Amino acid sequence: MQLIDGKTLAQKVHTSVANEVEQLKQEKNIVPGLAVILVGDDPASHAYVKMKAKACEKVGFYSISHNMPDTISQEEIIATIEMMNANPRIDGILVQLPLPKHVDTDKILEVIDPKKDVDGFHAYNVGRLVTGLDSFVACTPLGVMKMFEEYNIDLEGKDVCVVGASNIVGKPMAALLLNANATVTVTHIFTKDLKAHTSKADIVVVGVGVPGLIKEDMIKDGAIVIDIGINRIENGSLVGDVDFKHVSPKCSYITPVPGGVGPMTIAMLLSNTLKAAKTRA
């Protein structure tokens, strides 16, 4: 069993981005800029935005955060996004999800200029991804693909089971895997027999937010398991969607939680923002 070390790989990406930022500054006098919109006072969202700001500073980005109360109107959020769309210093716009219930998330995401959609959630970029064209791709699935690449895991012809069909993780993950010529099964909350699908898969990618959902008897010997879930349990510790202790001995590769996919999400956000800045250049 080999651990897929997301922390070390993310660090590698950060270093590469920082070097390219320096080059961009010197050659084109361009500093990549990222704007984050944060609505409400959800502690997890605030912590995550703080981590993003720290990462931006580290690689030499210009970054700003628009913190808004959860009572703010949809129109005011849209006006802020439109202001960022028009700001030449901003290459990437990120709206931290989830948004309050009175706000239409789809509407908000559609307002973002697709050329600044570094989260890869705009319908334009999703459409390009599905059709195999160059696009901005959701950061978490993109991070998983980077891991496969780093560990020389060949996806062609592999049976892959994606557990979870969210717009943020499951669907873009499935599209990326299909584009890499894997045979993909997508399971979700209405799937009748989850084990029947996961136990046959060469690779299982899970991201649903259910601690310990994937048990030892649901994985075949030698499978590769990518755990995207991150859950805080009663004792305060962080765990994934996989019963790591019992599943890991059966795997050829597995991601730990924390220290697996998590750090790669922010690394890919930096990579996407750099890509947008280079397009501007």
- Helix segments in the chain, DSSP class H: 6-28, 43-59, 74-86, 105-111, 123-130, 139-150, 170-179, 194-198, 244-247, 261-280
Q: Would you call 52 a catalytic residue per the annotation? A: yes
Cβ proximity of 194 and 208 under 8 Å: no
Q: Would you call 11 a catalytic residue per the annotation? A: no
Of 263, 262, 273, the C-alpha closest to 63 is 273
3-state class of 154 per DSSP? Answer: coil
Q: Of 91, 117, 119, 241, which residue is the catalytic one?
A: 119
- Distance in angstroms (rounded) separating the CA atoms of residues 134 and 176: 11
Residue with tokens 């959860």: 70
Q: Would you call 25 a catalytic residue per the annotation? A: no
Catalytic site residues?
Answer: 52, 96, 119
